[in-house]
């Protein structure tokens, strides 16, 4: 695998190049064995293989009567789900049965309770051969690969693994992502005021990190101090986000601190609006650092550009492919930078919602996606869509 120290420093790269580089630089975590209860959110590092046939025997798919032949049938017993069927049915015989119970030998079908007519110890009903019987091995056979490598472990995957009789999974664990929020001007309670700015990035990042599939590490607030930033970068996290220190002003210390630490600056600026002064570096011990701009929407754009790509690779996942949609009314292109425009997705296409300045989150908070508008001389009538919120897209 190509390692980051094989890559040159990339200054002012295109938005697409920045995503590809971030994905290349990320390194998947070593595979580990996890109990099912601890595997949610991880990615399968080895195929999910069934150790036995599922179900192991023919089972009833309904509460009702296991029957043999066309009927009517004489009831000769009962089979419960927690009992081994001890009866063997002869032609014209039936036994009551519960869902999941092993079908007795000789049964040709199961008739649902709601379809049964009772007459003393005799029953009648519609009997279709094989109906309502789950055959042995119907879901999978012993040794069959039921899920490939690279699947995210969610609730259905955990349930499937349990139904196969597995107690542990071999997975790529979620990376730990921490964040350092810098700025002497930031306040954490109440409204902004002259010389004071309410921190919006600190409250925003935890949800973004967990939605990206990473584990949330510490979120720390730092003054504009080169010493404090250098000390904080020793945080025990696989990826560290640093906001508010990635530009070139007198209070922006990230690049100087990275140089002091011998880090490799892989991406130094991305040609996108907002979010241009973002950065990606790799520390000497292999941990990654992403510099986010100090303006909230710019920081969000940078996280979705570099952060999502790096986290995907660290989880062992491919770089997300983005769908294309028409833009209702069109959007003006920037001459040399990719624009990230908040939009709502409707049946008529992607509709810009406005309020997309670098310091604003109103547009992003009301949007379904960011339209990725490629640079050009005129107006874009179609764009790729970068998913933003958790709401389903409109129809």
Give the helix ranges, DSSP H, for the chain.
Answer: 15-25, 155-163, 201-211, 226-232, 254-260, 296-302, 308-314, 362-365
pLDDT tens-digit map of 132-157: 999 999 999 999 999 999 999 999 99
CATH of domain 10-29+174-314: 3.40.980.10
Percent of the chain at pLDDT exceeding 70: 96
**Would you state the pLDDT for residue 219?**
96
The answer regarding whether domain 32-53+138-172 maps to CATH 3.90.105.10 reads yes
pLDDT tens-digit map of 243-280: 988 777 777 789 999 999 999 999 999 999 999 999 99
| 69 close to 86: Cβ distance less than 8 angstroms | no
Mean pLDDT, residues 329-335: 94
d(CA 270, CA 305): 9
Q: Where exactly are the structural domains of the chain?
A: 10-29+174-314, 32-53+138-172, 59-134, 324-387
Structure letter (DSSP) for residue 306 = I
Superfamily of domain 59-134: Molybdopterin biosynthesis moea protein, domain 3. (2.170.190.11)
- Tokens representing 368 are 């379904």
Determine which helix (DSSP H) or strand (DSSP E) holds 289, and give its type and residue range. Answer: strand 288-292
**Would you state the pLDDT for residue 9?**
63
Rounded to two decimals, the pTM is: 0.89
Per-residue pLDDT at 99 exceeds 60? yes
Per-residue pLDDT at 282 exceeds 60? yes
Mean pLDDT, residues 322-336: 95
- DSSP string covering 286-305, please? S-EEEEE-SSHHHHHHHIII
Q: What is the mean pLDDT of the chain?
A: 93
* Nearest Cα residue to 339 out of 367, 376, 366, 308: 376
| 325 close to 383: Cβ distance less than 8 angstroms | yes
Per-residue pLDDT at 67 exceeds 80? yes
Structure letter (DSSP) for residue 312 = H
Instruction: Quickly state the pLDDT bin for 98 (edges 50, 70, 90).
Output: very high
Q: Which of 44-53, 162-171, 288-297, 384-393 has the lowest mean pLDDT?
A: 384-393
Determine which helix (DSSP H) or strand (DSSP E) holds 388, and give its type and residue range. Answer: none
**Would you state the pLDDT for residue 297?**
98
Instruction: Quickly state the pLDDT bin for 362 (edges 50, 70, 90).
Output: very high
Determine which helix (DSSP H) or strand (DSSP E) holds 283, and give its type and residue range. Answer: none
d(CA 242, CA 178): 9
Mean pLDDT, residues 235-240: 93
Secondary-structure class of domain 324-387 per CATH: mainly beta
Instruction: Quickly state the pLDDT bin for 389 (edges 50, 70, 90).
Output: confident
**Residues whose CB is less than 8 angstroms from the CB of residue 194 and which lie 6 or more positions away in sequence, other chains included:** none
pLDDT tens-digit map of 204-232: 999 999 999 999 999 999 999 999 999 99
């Amino acid at each position: 695998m190509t390692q980051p120290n094989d890559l040159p420093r990339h200054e002012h790269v295109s938005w697409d190049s920045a995503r590809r580089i971030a994905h290349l630089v990320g390194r998947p975590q070593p595979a580990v064995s996890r109990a099912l209860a601890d595997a949610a959110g991880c990615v399968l590092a080895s195929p999910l293989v069934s150790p036995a046939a599922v179900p192991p025997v023919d089972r009833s798919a309904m509460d009702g009567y296991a029957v043999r032949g066309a009927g009517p049938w004489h009831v000769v017993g009962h089979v419960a789900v927690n009992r081994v069927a001890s009866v063997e049915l002869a032609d014209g015989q039936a036994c009551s049965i519960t869902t999941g119970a092993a079908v007795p030998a000789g049964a040709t079908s199961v008739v649902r309770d709601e379809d049964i007519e009772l007459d003393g110890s005799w029953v009648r009903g519609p009997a279709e051969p094989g109906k309502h019987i789950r055959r042995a091995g119907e879901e999978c056979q012993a040794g069959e690969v039921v899920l490939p490598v690279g699947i995210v472990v969610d609730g259905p995957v955990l349930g499937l693994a349990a139904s196969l009789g597995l107690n542990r999974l071999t997975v790529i664990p979620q990376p730990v992502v921490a964040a350092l929020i810098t700025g002497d001007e930031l306040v954490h309670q109440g409204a902004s005021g002259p010389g004071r700015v309410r921190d919006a990035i600190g409250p925003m990042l935890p949800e973004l990190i967990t939605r990206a599939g990473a584990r949330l590490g510490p979120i720390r607030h730092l003054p504009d101090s080169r010493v404090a930033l250098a000390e904080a970068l020793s945080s025990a996290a696989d990826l560290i986000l640093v906001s508010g220190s990635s530009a070139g002003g007198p209070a922006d210390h990230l690049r100087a601190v990275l140089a002091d630490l011998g880090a490799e600056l892989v991406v130094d600026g991305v040609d996108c609006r907002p979010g241009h002064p973002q950065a990606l570096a790799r520390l000497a011990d292999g941990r990654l650092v992403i510099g986010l701009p100090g303006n909230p929407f710019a920081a969000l754009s940078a996280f979705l550009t570099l952060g999502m790509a790096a986290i995907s690779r660290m989880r062992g996942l491919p770089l997300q492919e983005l769908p294309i949609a028409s833009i209702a009314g069109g959007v003006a292109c920037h001459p040399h930078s990719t624009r990230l425009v908040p939009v709502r997705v409707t049946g008529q296409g992607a509709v810009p919602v406005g309020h997309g300045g670098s310091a604003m989150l109103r547009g992003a908070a009301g949007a379904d996606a960011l339209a990725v508008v490629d640079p050009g001389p005129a107006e874009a009538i179609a764009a790729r869509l970068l998913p933003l919120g958790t709401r389903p897209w409109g129809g």
